Amino acid sequence: MSIFKKNTAQAEVVETKEKAIAFDSSKDFEFVQLDSSIHDQKFKTKPTTFIKDALKRFVKNKSSVVAASILGVLILMAIIVPLADGNDVTANNDIATYLPPKWFNKHNGGFLDGTGKVSNVTIDPVTGFPAADSNGNYTYRKEGVVGGKDGITLSDGYADNPSSVVLEYGKGGALTVASKDPLYESFIYSTKFDIDLDSFYELSYTINEEYAETMGDFPTYSSVIVMNVSENNVRYFTIEPEHNTYGTHTISNVADIVKSDPEYNAIEDGSVIKGRLGFMLSKNTDAKTKTLTIESVSFKKDGTEIKTPDADSTDVISFSDATKAYKSWAVHGVHGGANKGLYHSKVTTGAFTYDYYAAAYCDDTGSFTDSDFDRFYELGYLEEEFNWEAGSASNFKLTPLGEEKCPAREILELEINNWGENQSKSANCVRSRYRYFYYVGYTAKCAPVKYFFGTDNQGHDFFKVVFSGLLTSLELGFLASAINIVLGVIWGAISGYFGGWVDMIMERLTEILGGMPWIVLMTLIVLMFGKSNFWIFLFALCLTGWIGTSVTTRSQFYRYKGREYVLASRTLGASDWRLIFMHILPNGIGTIVTGAVLMIPGVIFSEASISYLLPGALSFQGAISFGVTLSNAQTYIQQYPYMIISASIVMSLIMICFNLFGNGLRDAFNPSTKGAAI
């Protein structure tokens, strides 16, 4: 290219030389531009505006662009998820509570696959699966145990907390009674039995030192015989002096001790009386909790151990196996200051991987009424209407659709009850739980649902709960920011433009309002209006929120109001209004816009903080905000941390993205402040 240019230049030189030689006077002077019309050339580059220029700078800032896109996705999700996710988040689903997050169907070591490792679960030695409590309820169902029986690692252990499962399957252990009543004695005693005071009774009991030391302070105690003299007159006969020693104690001749008690004379009702055997914990002097741990009790009448006629609890008076004594021995503290427990009961425990989803979606038995069956037929699950009079399950025929969606798989038994006029019909069925969830409307799909964020204490899809809350918070954020910007700009503009005493008074007012801790103001507003709702909360957020904007606007106005263009405009007769809104404000708008963007996360943060601090006073009615969701999840931080983790990640993402986006905007609008603190 350059060579070519050089050549042409040389050629021109040659040409001029030739021209110089052939001189022509008529062509000596020539108007170069005689025929061309001269006018302003159009810019070849496109003109740029302030906004476009800022946008160009913004796009160059990669982290801000990334933040803006993540933010966009999150905002879109906040709008779409509550609409698209059909799972019910209002009704309580008691079965599918606390399901951990599940993203994958494949088991991958507990990572987002809906499983978790559990240990120290009491195992039923008969079935080999986790045991049910005394009411027949399972904490861990066998359907959820990954790998079945072989998946459970068994070990023998001791359970020190008398949960009902331990009481059912534990062996041995010691009966404990704890009391901290400084005013009265506390008692633990057996069920009633007949005491024939002419017989020879021998009491022997063991207080294990090893156990007692692990259970806190050791009390002073004594053994007693409790007798009901009359309906309301209970007497306690101490059959040994108060003491506080460990080991095995034997008291023979119990009947004689009772008879020698001066109080005994009050009883005239022959020699056979209803009584109980008990232990008395003496008054506490220091109000500390004191625990007596009774390992075994043997109470013999003429050499044979006493048993009560109660068939279920044969050994209730004498015991060396505390699990049985636990139920029938009652505690009595005058002010309820005593409670009993079981210590060191031997149980078989297991550790296994538990699939919470498999357990939640397994089949169980459930009862369906005749109206349910009518609905099954309406929905096309049944081939023919169910005939209750036929009395058998034979006419329960599922259509192919029913095979897919009917919550009742097969009928176990029919129950028809006549209540006078009314007849109630129901059927106990094998129930498919996931189909049942679909049938009653908990889930939108008739399939085992995967919950991305798990479920909360009410069995709600936490994914939907989080994003619904986020939507409420974003609405609050955008609205509050918009109001704050408008208020702040107007206040700051007036204060900054007019200056002087107007500015002085307005400044003091903002100082007073800004000086009040916002949390107090917010609480006051909410308390004054009684119950809080979205609009009151919005009002509370806007009460002081505009001060920041007004300060920025005011300084912008101080900066620009003395400029030449303002003066020029004023000399041309522009009104104050025109100067403020058409001249000064557009020049300072960049900073104000940035402030607006950074205000949204601020509002979300304020809302969340106040929800954390005053969950009772400020809970929303209807729409639950993100802050309320977070502070609810905080309650389960120990047992079910996945909730607070997922909600916190979303919260952090929103905050980081808003801040990065806001900083990017600030740098774009005002390149001179790049990298400076906000």
Partner 1 sequence: MWKYVLKRLGLLLITTFIILSLTYILLQCLPLEAPRGNTTEMISFYNRQVALGYFQRVAPGDSGYEAFIANPEAADFKMTLTTGETVFFSSLPVMVRYVRWLGNIVLRWDWGTSTQISIGQSAISIILRRLPVSMKLNIVAMIISVPAGIGLGIWAALKKNKMTDHIISTLVMVFISVPSFVLISFMLIWMAYGAKWVPTQWPSAEMAAVDWKIAVRGYVIPVLALCFGSICGFARYTRAELCEVMSSEFLLLARTKGLTRAQAVVKHALRNSMVPIVPMIIGEFVGVLSGSMILEQLYGIPGIGSLFVTALNAKDYSVVMVDMAIYTLIGLLATLVVDLSYGIVDPRIRMGASK
Binding residue for partner 1 (CB under 8 A) from 390, 502, 524, 568? 524
305 within 8 A of 298, measured Cβ to Cβ? yes
Handedness of CA 495, 501, 506, 510 (dihedral sign): positive
Helix axis angle, 585-613 to 626-634, nearest 10°: 30
Residue found by looking up tokens 């004191």 in the block: 290
Considering only residues 252 to 271 of the shown chain, the ones binding partner 1 according to CB under 8 A are: none
| Alpha carbon distance 330, 328 (integer Å) | 6
For the bound state, the minimum distance from the C-beta of residue 563 to partner 1, rounded and expressed in Å, comes to 17
605 is a contact residue toward partner 1 (CB under 8 A): yes
What is the rounded CA–CA span in Å between residue 276 and residue 223?
Answer: 11
Work out whether 70 is an interface residue with partner 1 (CB under 8 A).
no
Q: Which of 76, 334, 486, 519 is in the footprint of partner 1 by CB under 8 A?
A: 519
Does residue number 505 form part of the binding site for partner 1 (CB under 8 A)?
no
Contacting residue, 223, 523, 556, 632, with partner 1 by CB under 8 A: 523
- In angstroms, the Cα distances linking 436 to 114, 367, 404, 406 are 20, 11, 11, 8
Q: Which is nearer to partner 1, 303 or 675 (CB)?
A: 675
d(CA 548, CA 274): 81
CB 151 to partner 1: min, Å: 25
- In this structure, the number of other CB atoms found within 10 A of the CB of residue 476 comes to 24
Report the chain's terminal Cα–Cα distance, integer Å.
51
Q: Which is nearer to partner 1, 243 or 674 (CB)?
A: 674
Residue from the set 520, 564, 571, 573 that interacts with partner 1 by CB under 8 A: 520
What is the distance between the alpha carbons of residues 176 and 111, in angstroms, rounded to a whole number?
Answer: 41
Question: Nearest approach, Cβ of 631 to partner 1 (angstroms)?
Answer: 8
State which of positions 212-241 bind partner 1 (CB under 8 A).
none
Q: Which stretch binds partner 1 (CB under 8 A): 170-178, 269-277, 585-593, 670-678?
A: 670-678
User: How buried is residue 540: exposed, middle or buried, by Cβ count under 10 Å (0-12/13-18/19+)?
Assistant: buried
Q: How far is the CB of 638 from partner 1 (least distance, A)?
A: 5
How many residues bind to partner 1 according to rule CB under 8 A?
Answer: 40
Q: Would you say 20 or 528 has its CB closer to partner 1? A: 528
Nearer to partner 1, 572 or 677 (CB): 677
Least distance in Å: CB of 601 to partner 1?
7
Among 355, 377, 363, CA closest to 434: 363
Rounded to the nearest angstrom, the gap between the alpha carbon of residue 72 and the centroid of all alpha carbons in its chain is: 26
Pattern 617-656, partner 1, x by CB under 8 A = x------------x---x--xx--x--xx--x--xx--xx
Q: Which two tokens stand for residue 117?
A: 């490792």
Select from 21, 34, 528, 572 the one that contacts partner 1 (CB under 8 A): 528
**124 close to 169: Cβ distance less than 8 angstroms:** yes
Q: How far is the CB of 63 from partner 1 (least distance, A)?
A: 8
Residue 101 binds partner 1 (CB under 8 A): no
Q: Judged by CB under 8 A, does residue 527 bind partner 1? A: yes
Helix-strand-coil percent breakdown of the chain, rounded to 5? 45, 20, 35
Q: What whole-number distance in Å separates Cα of residue 632 and Cα of residue 648?
A: 12
Q: How far apart are CA 614 and CA 636, in angstroms?
A: 17
**In 3D, which of 651, 646, 634, 643 has the Cα closest to residue 456?**
643
Enumerate residues 279-298 that contact partner 1 by CB under 8 A. Answer: none
Task: Tell which phi-psi region holds residue 147, choosing left (phi > 0), alpha (psi between -120 and 50) or beta.
Answer: left
- Interaction of residue 476 with partner 1, rule CB under 8 A: no
Residue 304: both structure tokens together: 């044979």
C-beta of 93 vs 472, nearer to partner 1: 472
Answer yes or no: are the C-beta atoms of 423 and 416 closer than 8 Å. Answer: yes
**Closest approach of Cβ 65 to partner 1, in Å?**
15
Cβ proximity to partner 1, 466 vs 660, nearer residue: 660
Judge contact between 434 and 428, C-beta under 8 A: no
| 68/630 with CB nearer partner 1 | 630
The nearer residue to partner 1, 482 or 521, going by C-beta atoms, is 521
199 binds partner 1 (CB under 8 A): no
Q: Specify burial of residue 470 (Cβ count, 10 A radius: 0-12, 13-18, 19+).
A: buried
Q: In angstroms, what is the minimal distance from the CB of 511 to partner 1?
A: 6
Q: Where do the DSSP E strands lie in 77-114?
A: none
Angle in degrees, 0-180, between the axes of helices 585-613 and 534-560, rounded to the nearest 10: 150
Stretch that binds partner 1, among 79-87, 278-286, 517-525, 533-541 (CB under 8 A): 517-525
Options 132-140, 323-331, 410-418, 506-514: segment touching partner 1 (CB under 8 A): 506-514
- Alpha carbons 675 and 369: distance in angstroms, whole number: 69
* 500 binds partner 1, rule: CB under 8 A: no
| Site map 542..581 versus partner 1, x via CB under 8 A | ----------------------------------------
Looking at beta carbons only, is 440 or 637 nearer to partner 1? 637
Helix and strand numbers, DSSP H then E, in the chain: 20, 18
Q: Are 190 and 316 in contact (CB under 8 A)?
A: yes
| Piece in contact with partner 1 (CB under 8 A), picked from 96-104, 139-147, 385-393, 607-615 | 607-615
Residue 457 touches partner 1, criterion: CB under 8 A: no
Give me the least distance between CB of 627 and partner 1, in Å please. Answer: 9
Which CB atom, from 125 or from 641, has the smaller least distance to partner 1?
641
Compute and round to an integer the Cα radius of gyration of the chain: 42
Q: Which residues bind partner 1 (CB under 8 A)?
A: 508, 511-512, 515-517, 519-520, 523-524, 527-528, 601, 605, 608-609, 612-614, 616-617, 630, 634, 637-638, 641, 644-645, 648, 651-652, 655-656, 658-660, 663, 675-677
